[in-house]
Structure 1
Amino acid sequence: MTATQLPRVAAPQGRARRRRRPSPSRAALPLLAPFCLLFGVFFLLPIGYAIHESLYAVRRSGLGFGTPERVFAGFDNYAKVFDDGIFLSGVGRLLLFGFVQVPVMLGLALLLALLLDGTAARCKPFFRLVYFLPYAVPGVIAAIVWAFLYTPQISPFGLDLLADDVVLGSIGNIVTWTWTGFNMLVIYSALQAVPRDIYEAAAIDGAGPLRIAWQIKIPMVRPSLALTAVFSVIGTLQLFNEPRVLSDVTANVPKDYTPLMWSLQVALDRNDYALGSAIAVVLAVLTGGLSLLFLRLSSWLTTRGAR
């Protein structure tokens, strides 16, 4: 009698191979591809082209009557940016503008955000919309409306708000009116993310609304304040719409009032695109440097305050 032969079972050869899952970075590439493409075409490529153009110049031989020739100029255009002092005076004017306007605007935005976040506030959606509504108005349209209000002949204020000694403050009023609501919404969103248990615990300990706002709410939204401050610094150095509109109304705002206005004037009126590109590149480097410096200062103050 023969024994029944059992079928052979293949011995397990190591662990079963696991299916390889795509890494999160590879899975995100198809989603990021449209953004990267548009970012490169409409942001990085123009920056590279501006840097390239700033290194060249168009020169004519024969006392300026010869055939124009495009030659490599190196850093000559960058030297011209600082020659006549127009760029430095414009930057100084903007630094003075930002030193006064940015704290006032962010202070108003913080105050409005705290009022909306208060427990006694009523009709929050309505007032949130009212505060944010000026930002929805295009900057050029807002500047035109305020220009009519500033014109002495038709101004309801009865004052010459376009005089040489107050025109910078008039521009600051337009910028503050436009951007306070946007910054308020950023700060208010940060306040909404703070757990309400913290406020309740502080109230149980006897803290009033003012103390809660000063010692709890403001420190909790410090990153949002730093973010809005950086955006404000960048916007200050790139100030263009408001003074450009007012330059058509008053002679106290010349065409080279800000560096960005001067860059446009040089490129379009003088047909010197190389120098205009150099002005734009220098302004971009200055804006990035000041923004980085402000971020470092804000981080240092936050670290020091936490100790």
Structure 2
Amino acid sequence: MSSTTQQAAGAKRRPARPGRSNAAKRENRTGWAFMAPFAIMFALVFILPIFWAIYSSFFRQVTEGGGAYGGGELVNKFVGLENFKYVITSANFWAGTGRVLIYTLIQVPIMIIAALALAMLIDSFVVKHISGFRLGYFLPYAIPGVVASIIWVYLYNGQISPIVKGLAALGINVDFFAKNVVLASMANITTWTFTGYNMLIFLAALQAIPHDLYEAARIDGANGFQIAMRIKLPNVRSAALLAMLLSIVGTIQLFNEPQIMSTADAGISKSYTPMMMAMSTSQGTLTPGGDGPASAIAIVMAFIAGILAMVYALVERKVNEQ
């Protein structure tokens, strides 16, 4: 075929391309139309509040006007980085952060180990009626955190708690609101609530392991314990890192448990955790009050969460390289 004939054939085929391009554009528009409701809601409830918090963190409510006997009105005044300086130099903020770190060291390892143990138990051949066990372990997560905290505050109350009365009958006197015990009491609430959630993460990782590996191990003479230690555990490392990351970031937002327990324990102050401090600051019960200092507290805590996420990414990369 001559070059002239080839060029003519190519010219005849070219008009088909715009048709395919128009179809692709229509598909793209359809996809964006389906995604638009989510994108709009995501921007309204997530993106815009972040920008508003950043904007508010540069302002502080101050009183202007009035005379020798007071008066005046509250106005938002641009203060630059003063709110962040207040947060970073606040002893209450770092004391609350320290409590959160101690809480994390107590609660996260216990919860992760318990969740992994439950997941491996359900995944084993010993347990039957897996759906019932899975639902039973996950059910506490379905209870709102505030409601769960209220339930446990009742169970911790020494005057009405059946647990405290039962232990007292055995000669064991326990004060769940004691200064050196209250963090463990909060950790128990969180562990009870989120162990089932993390158990599902581990269970999904376990069920993704090819069963051919189990059969090959049994042929080689491995028992159930050896299969669990040498096949199951190494294959859930990524799930364990994910569960630990979510748990650590969640502890930074510790709020429900201490806030509810503060109604029964006067020793839990308004700045007991950074999130409680942020709420009390926004309500004006701590000085300086207002949205500006509260937003600065939230941003500093978000920055700390970002650092933890970076550490997680580095650890995960090293684990995957091994």
TM over 0.5: yes
Q: Is 28-37 or 92-101 further displaced after alignment?
A: 28-37
Give the TM-score normalised by the residue count of structure 2.
0.86
Equivalent-residue separation in structure 2 for 1:300 and 1:94 (angstroms): 27
Aligned residues: 294
Equivalent-residue separation in structure 1 for 2:12 and 2:120 (angstroms): 60
1:234 maps onto 2:234 in alignment: no
The one-character-per-residue Cα deviations of 1:239-298 (angstroms, maximum 9, x if unpaired) are 111110000001222221110001000111335111111111111111122122122123
Equivalent-residue separation in structure 1 for 2:10 and 2:307 (angstroms): 60
Structure 1 vs Structure 2: percent identity of aligned residues?
40
Equivalent-residue separation in structure 1 for 2:97 and 2:274 (angstroms): 7
Among 124, 145, 168, which residue is 1:118 paired with?
124
CA contact (8 A) 1:86 1:256 kept: yes
Q: Is 141-150 or 22-31 further displaced after alignment?
A: 22-31
| 1:31 CA displacement | 3.0
| 1:13 CA displacement | 5.0
Among 4, 24, 39, which residue is 1:36 paired with?
39
Structure 1 residues not aligned, in runs of 5+: 1-10
CA contact (8 A) 1:50 1:277 kept: yes
| 1:100 CA displacement | 2.0
Counterpart in 1 of 2:3? none
| Alpha carbons of structure 1 residues 275 and 177: separation in structure 2 relative to 1, 3 Å | same
CA RMSD of aligned residues (A): 1.9
| 1:137 CA displacement | 1.1
| 1:69 CA displacement | 3.5
| 1:214 CA displacement | 1.5
| Alpha carbons of structure 1 residues 67 and 140: separation in structure 2 relative to 1, 3 Å | closer
Counterpart in 1 of 2:60? 57
CA contact (8 A) 1:56 1:74 kept: yes
Equivalent-residue separation in structure 1 for 2:119 and 2:10 (angstroms): 65
1:103 maps onto 2:106 in alignment: no
| 1:28 CA displacement | 3.5
The one-character-per-residue Cα deviations of 1:182-233 (angstroms, maximum 9, x if unpaired) are 1101111121121111111111111221221122112212222121111101
What are the residue-to-residue correspondences of 1:213-252 with 2, within 5 Å? Answer: 213-252=228-267
Counterpart in 2 of 1:267? 282
Structure 2 residues not aligned, in runs of 5+: 1-7, 169-173
Equivalent-residue separation in structure 2 for 1:91 and 1:210 (angstroms): 40
Higher helix share: 2
1:145 maps onto 2:175 in alignment: no
| 1:299 CA displacement | 2.2
Give the TM-score normalised by the residue count of structure 1.
0.90
Equivalent-residue separation in structure 2 for 1:68 and 1:177 (angstroms): 44
Equivalent-residue separation in structure 1 for 2:132 and 2:9 (angstroms): 70
CA contact (8 A) 1:230 1:295 kept: no
CA contact (8 A) 2:62 2:77 kept: yes
Among 157, 160, 163, which residue is 2:178 paired with?
163
